[in-house]
Structure 1
């Protein structure tokens, strides 16, 4: 089992007593919000086991003013006298909690800012579950901590369980009770933002699927929160993942048949309300992207898929889908069943003859069909189309052999060629 870590920054100010509340929990009267937060975790999360650790970040002044376990009094400017005061370290000892005090600089310049960043990052371990308190974080530190958390999520697989803020300024003056705010949704929003970016920029749907599952499963398990919209939304994201996998693995039949696109469009039209707030704008963008594809069987879906792959930096898939899509297009043009191996062999034999001068060898199988197809000048007399065929055959051959050939293309040239081939290709096909 990994560690559970409560990470907090201790301030330097003179704190007055207050009670902090979160939902049904109300803490004991205290100078320090950290005590209330830890009481809350003791009650709600059974905090205090051998894998639970409090990490307190302290500047020199915070250590002197608010930490020292031997602290008994402190000067109160408001009363202009020394008053009883207790350091936070003594409180943690009395609570019998494991803790470490971590020295950090004041953060007065960029160099010290990065020093703080490194100190905190070095203290975190692989797989830690993090409970973050930013109540007393000074100046830019709350932003630094949020950025650091995302950094640690990636590099140390840290999981953020809570981000607490004790809002002392919003306390009820009569009861002297202040609210504890959980800012975790801000961190979750960043997760959704990165997941949406992965899909919208690179066609990667795994993060989006994982987040939707983790968000929707608790909703669907609870009879009070389960709705048809939530069920359909989960189905939508699951089908989206399957559709993306069809494209990234070049499943030609599935792409042409477009069952997943049809399912997605149907499900999207039935969803009245997207129950996950962060998914709403993403959902709308995904719906728009579906408009490029015919929801019925259409060979041009292959060309659309090649464009989608190229736009999402999946250049090898784009190359494969384009060449196979063009061959399938010709099968349909000559009213041949593109699912039959012999028909595809004849079409690609014609392509080889016209693009690589492999006349004798390619005519052997299906000779009569090949000669009949080659006699159609409306196709083979279209110079723009034949040029596209020549270029895509050359590009796919180079790509699939990993450039192990005479005069291989550079990576830049590969990208330029596939983008060039896809630009305006539908206009060329419309002339055949």
Structure 2
């Protein structure tokens, strides 16, 4: 259902010629013009006490709409009244509503409040905002109509595009704060499709391939981080930076909301690399950076899972088997060596292998065993979702996970030394 939400003002209702695209409407009442232009199923008029007294009857008498409702709102002279207005507007929107928001006669703070309320409603109810409309009476010039009456040409301006700025803000926030580029990818895809439609070309064949590829690469990187795929993550970060070189100038000029975040995207250099062109130690540094990135973005389970596997890889590199670090038998041997180190520390019997012999010679091997115990415990507690007789509470686990990057740094120093 198309629903127009409009505010009745308290000022004079001057003769105007409202225009929208190629349509015109001669009327003193903006709501009359909006019904002619957009044909809403219903109009809801929000009125203060003064607006009801001065102008409401004139507005209602001018309307030709199947359904008109009048809702009283306070004047907004206090913070409580502002929240009351928010609640009143919010009650008027349902999930399947297609909203036209007219802010022409909303006074003082009301345009701002109505806009934010509509955005909030959109997120909560799933309703659609198809138009934020403003009849710009003050911007036009005076004319005389065919009856000789003086009127002001008043273009109806659709401010709906500013909604996308909020969407961009949310998409950027998801990337910066939560390592999630799905929003940016979707916004870029929508932008390129809209641009193609405006240029009257086929949106499926005329998308900017470079920008689309950049969006996909960024999404691949954050997906690999969220799924703890560090090898794919380092490669994806490299691809993002390569693609960024092709689109940086175009993004700055055509997608301004994304411009400020390009610096954050450039920071992916810390994680970027092609495994075939890096030493085992270099790749471990990249992976450790990804683990730190996971921790900073609240991906605690992923960080703990990857940290445990990272320690196994570090032992393999230390033993000189870096080229085979993905081989199952090599990983099993390295993992067994770490468990053996723990048994040695506890003065228990353990199997002697080539890798354990190397570890035993490290100055600080006991610290290596202690870090292995700590991170393995964190990882197991998280992976088993606390379904153990003894488990850590959430706050304790969060604190422990946040300490993982420093523990891995120390682990790395000992193993490589």
TM-score, normalized by the shorter chain, greater than 0.5: yes
- 1:423 maps to 406
CA apart distance, 1:210: 2.6
2:254 corresponds to 1:285:
no
- 2:148 maps to none
CA apart distance, 1:37: 2.8
CA contact (8 A) 2:381 2:392 kept: yes
- 2:110 maps to 141
| Deviation per residue, 1:298-338 (Å, 9 max, x gap) | 23332222111101101110111111112112223323312
Written as runs of structure 1 = structure 2, the 5 A alignment for 1:218-229 is 218-220=194-196
Q: Residue 28 of structure 1: SS of its match in structure 2?
A: strand
**Cα-Cα RMSD:** 2.7
Q: Distance in 1 between matches of 2:34 and 2:199?
A: 31
Q: Residue 16 of structure 1: SS of its match in structure 2?
A: coil
CA apart distance, 1:406: 5.2
Structure 1: runs of 5+ lacking an equivalent: 42-46, 69-86, 364-369
- Aligned CA distance change for structure 1 residues 406 and 356 (closer, same or farther; 3 Å): farther
Structure 2: runs of 5+ lacking an equivalent: 145-151, 276-282
Q: Distance in 2 between matches of 1:355 and 1:302?
A: 24
CA contact (8 A) 2:178 2:298 kept: yes
Q: Residue 194 of structure 2: SS of its match in structure 1?
A: helix
Q: Distance in 1 between matches of 2:349 and 2:242?
A: 48
1:314 corresponds, among 274, 299, 307, to: 299
Q: Distance in 2 between matches of 1:139 and 1:148?
A: 15
- 1:90 maps to 61
2:378 corresponds to 1:395:
yes
Q: Distance in 1 between matches of 2:313 and 2:109?
A: 58
1:195 corresponds, among 143, 162, 171, to: 171
- 1:103 maps to 72
CA apart distance, 1:97: 4.1
CA apart distance, 1:64: 3.0
- 1:78 maps to none
- Aligned CA distance change for structure 1 residues 161 and 282 (closer, same or farther; 3 Å): farther
Q: Distance in 1 between matches of 2:56 and 2:92?
A: 20
- 2:24 maps to 27
Residue correspondences, number: 392
- 2:7 maps to 9
2:348 corresponds to 1:372:
no
CA contact (8 A) 1:8 1:55 kept: yes
Please give the TM-score of this superposition, normalised by the length of structure 2: 0.85
- Aligned CA distance change for structure 1 residues 361 and 90 (closer, same or farther; 3 Å): farther
CA apart distance, 1:28: 1.9
- 2:273 maps to 295
Comparing 413-422 with 265-274, which one deviates more in the overlay? Answer: 413-422
Q: Distance in 2 between matches of 1:215 and 1:27?
A: 30
2:350 corresponds to 1:352:
no
1:112 corresponds, among 81, 90, 98, to: 81
CA apart distance, 1:201: 0.9
- 1:367 maps to none
Q: Distance in 2 between matches of 1:30 and 1:222?
A: 31
- 2:90 maps to 121
Comparing 219-228 with 261-270, which one deviates more in the overlay? Answer: 219-228
Q: Residue 273 of structure 1: SS of its match in structure 2?
A: helix
Q: Distance in 1 between matches of 2:231 and 2:332?
A: 16
- 2:278 maps to none
CA apart distance, 1:356: 5.3
- Aligned CA distance change for structure 1 residues 320 and 423 (closer, same or farther; 3 Å): same
Q: Distance in 2 between matches of 1:424 and 1:396?
A: 14
| Deviation per residue, 1:100-150 (Å, 9 max, x gap) | 222223333333322222121111101322111111112221121122112
Q: Residue 289 of structure 2: SS of its match in structure 1?
A: helix
CA contact (8 A) 1:54 1:98 kept: yes
Q: Residue 29 of structure 1: SS of its match in structure 2?
A: strand
- 2:369 maps to 386
1:242 corresponds, among 197, 200, 220, to: 220
Comparing 24-33 with 172-181, which one deviates more in the overlay? Answer: 172-181
2:320 corresponds to 1:342:
no
